[in-house]
């Protein structure tokens, strides 16, 4: 199965009670929930999935189990601080049956653009053409894949596309301009610019918001595709007010709190919040429970 256009989900990773451990049962239930909602694909072990908090062995295990459980294509995040680590995760994901790999620059340390180019080319050469490889640009947490670097890599034909989480519409527009000469899949990775970018020709989104509120992102995508301007405007306003709440917490605390408010098994936070932040989080969950039913009803016709 290949990821297709539309709403793909950046999935959370439910945490278990053991240190560094994932809740496998909770993860599989989350996958069932997302598949039932009608999403087009599920991305595991990205930043929303807090991959840095889990061992390589745990990540490999979860990807394997998820690909067996999911009824939609699975994209596996294979971000690592080293090339060897990314290659190990990539090969295991291919063996598990992942539809594609999301590869970010090596995290924590900063690298020059020519070093990033070599990193991506070496990964592609060693993984080969066994699976679709997507560049994963997320400058909030690691070195940015500058637009010129992304264009050069995508022009090689070695990469299936890019998930751009920069939130820059200018970055999206510059990439969009080269898709005619060098076709590739262009996915929005930051929900802030989803509506504008999707209307301008983005193939789809890998959405963190959709992990908690798939109805919102699926409804918005359908409205964009059908040209229902009034509905797009209403749903876009709901999306931005939800994001405004998320921005008051560390990533991905707000999405986890919303998912938990729906009864999904998310588990404890990786880092405890201060009393004032916990109070704010409780206020957010109260707001969310009152806000969600209108989204589920579909809002105005």
Of 78, 91, 4, 90, nearest in space to 46 by CA: 78
**pLDDT score for 1:** 45
**pLDDT score for 132:** 95
**pLDDT score for 35:** 98
E-assigned strands of 104-149?
A: 132-137
pLDDT at 235 over 90: yes
Own/partner contacts of 174-178, CB < 8 Å, gap of 24 or more, are: 174/147, 175/147, 175/150, 175/151, 176/200, 176/201, 176/202, 178/151, 178/154
> Average pLDDT of 213-230?
97
**pLDDT score for 288:** 98
pLDDT at 3 over 70: no
Q: What angle do CA 134, 78, 142 make, to 5 degrees?
A: 80
- Give DSSP secondary structure letters for 176-232: HTTTTTS--EEEE--GGGHHHHHHTT--EEEESHHHH-HHHHHHHHHHHHHT-HHHH
What domains can you pick out in the chain, each with its CATH number?
6-228 (3.20.20.70)
**pLDDT score for 19:** 61
Token pair, residue 18, equals 């053991």
> Average pLDDT of 211-220?
98
Question: Which tens digits make up the pLDDT trace of 103-114?
Answer: 999 999 999 999
Residue with tokens 């940015």: 144
Residue with tokens 């908090």: 53
> Average pLDDT of 227-251?
97
pLDDT at 16 over 90: no
Of 86, 77, 164, nearest in space to 123 by CA: 86
Element (H, E) at 78: none
pLDDT at 119 over 80: yes
> Average pLDDT of 217-221?
98
**pLDDT score for 130:** 83
Q: What is the mean pLDDT of the chain?
A: 95
Give the pTM.
0.95
């Amino acid at each position: 199965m290949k990821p297709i256009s539309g709403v793909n989900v950046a999935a959370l990773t439910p945490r278990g009670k053991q240190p560094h451990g994932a809740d496998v049962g909770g993860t599989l239930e989350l996958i069932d929930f997302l598949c039932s909602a009608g999403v087009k694909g599920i991305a595991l072990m990205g930043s929303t999935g807090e991959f840095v908090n889990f061992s390589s062995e745990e990540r490999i295990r979860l990807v394997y189990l998820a690909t067996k459980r999911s009824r939609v294509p699975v994209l596996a995040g294979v971000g690592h601080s080293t090339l060897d680590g990314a290659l190990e995760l990539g090969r295991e994901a291919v063996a598990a049956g992942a539809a594609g790999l999301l590869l970010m620059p090596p995290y924590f340390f900063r690298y020059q653009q020519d070093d990033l180019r070599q990193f991506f080319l070496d990964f592609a050469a060693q993984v080969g053409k066994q699976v679709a490889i997507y560049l994963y640009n997320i400058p909030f947490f690691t070195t940015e894949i500058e637009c010129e670097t992304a264009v050069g890599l995508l022009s090689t034909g070695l990469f299936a596309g890019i998930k751009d989480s920069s939130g820059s519409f200018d970055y999206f527009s510059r990439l969009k301009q080269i898709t005619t000469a060098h076709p590739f899949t262009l996915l929005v990775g930051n929900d802030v610019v989803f509506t504008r970018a999707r209307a301008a020709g983005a193939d789809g989104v890998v959405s963190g918001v959709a992990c908690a509120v798939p109805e919102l992102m699926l409804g918005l995508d359908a409205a964009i595709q059908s040209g229902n301007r009034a509905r797009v405007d209403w749903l876009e306003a709901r999306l931005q007010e939800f994001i405004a709440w998320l921005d008051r917490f560390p990533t991905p605390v707000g999405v986890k709190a919303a998912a938990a408010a729906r009864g999904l098994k998310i588990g404890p936070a990786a880092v405890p919040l201060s009393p004032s932040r916990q109070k704010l989080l409780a206020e957010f969950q109260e707001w969310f429970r009152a806000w969600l039913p209108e989204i589920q009803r579909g809002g105005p016709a």
